Amino acid sequence: MMEDAFLRNSVIVTGASLGIGRQIALQLASQGAHLALAARSEQELSRVASLCRERGGEAVAITTDVSDEAQCKALIERTVVEYGQIDSLINNAGMGMWARFDELSSLSLLETVMRVNFWGSVYCTHYALPHLRATKGRLVVVVSGGGKFPAPGLCGYGASKHALVGLFDSLRIELEGSGVSVTAAYPAWVATGMSGRSLRADGKPTGEVTAHEKGAMSPEVCARLIIRAATERRREMISAKLRFGLVMAPIVPHLVDGIAARMYG
């Protein structure tokens, strides 16, 4: 049954200490999932793991910096030791930036964003894929609207998300017939506080949550939509606002660019 899709399902969730990842973990725990939770913050991760166990799931906190290939490999190996297999991988870990390209005195910020947002998913997927093939499992990546639309001030973020689209669209085709489903999630802004944690050109957080994030979708709703799409093994989950933009962009591209410039400029 679809509602039992994650019952005793061994699931890795990256970026599980807060925001969308935290809500995905809590909601899957309520379905009886066996969770391997990954994030850099050991304290916050342990707190989420405890909440998951209270909700009826099994959970182990595995402190992981996804920008480090060795740590991603260790995450996969530890999950197999804990649960014997991997049924689902949810690549959710990510970071933001808020700086125009010509404001960057060095490219280190772009490199950091790419390592976390793109290479983190590459590393985890590479080491998990043989296990997912064995279980005919689910592969999920949380891309965001940045994978569909460009925006000023988010050049590195958008580049990392577009790279994810290219990778996972290709993987979907390559894995056809293997039993492994590939689901890409494209939520619009979600009220996680990410804009306040996004890094400026000097590498420091903005410290300010933007106006459009304050009125955005809640992490609870976003997590529910992602889990539903993964349960149904759909290829995509796209927010309604983004769907409208995708229809309009080929027709009036300058208008869509202008909206992005006003929102983010």
Could you give the residue numbers annotated as active site? 157
- 3-state secondary structure (DSSP) of residue 13: strand
CA-wise closest residue to 56 among 3, 90, 4, 7: 7
Contact yes or no for 91/76 (Cβ under 8 A): no
Residue 23 CB-density burial (10 A; 0-12 exposed, 13-18 middle, 19+ buried): buried
How far apart CA 172 and CA 26 sit, in angstroms, is 27
Q: Residue written as tokens 């909206």?
A: 259
Contact yes or no for 124/75 (Cβ under 8 A): yes
Structure tokens at 153: 């001030």
First to last CA, the chain: 47
CB atoms within 10 A of CB 179: 13
* Residues whose CB is less than 8 angstroms from the CB of residue 37 and which lie 6 or more positions away in sequence, other chains included: 13, 16, 17, 25, 45, 48, 49, 52, 59, 60, 61, 62
Give the H or E element holding residue 72.
Answer: helix 69-83
Contact yes or no for 263/211 (Cβ under 8 A): no
CA-wise closest residue to 64 among 85, 88, 86, 44: 44
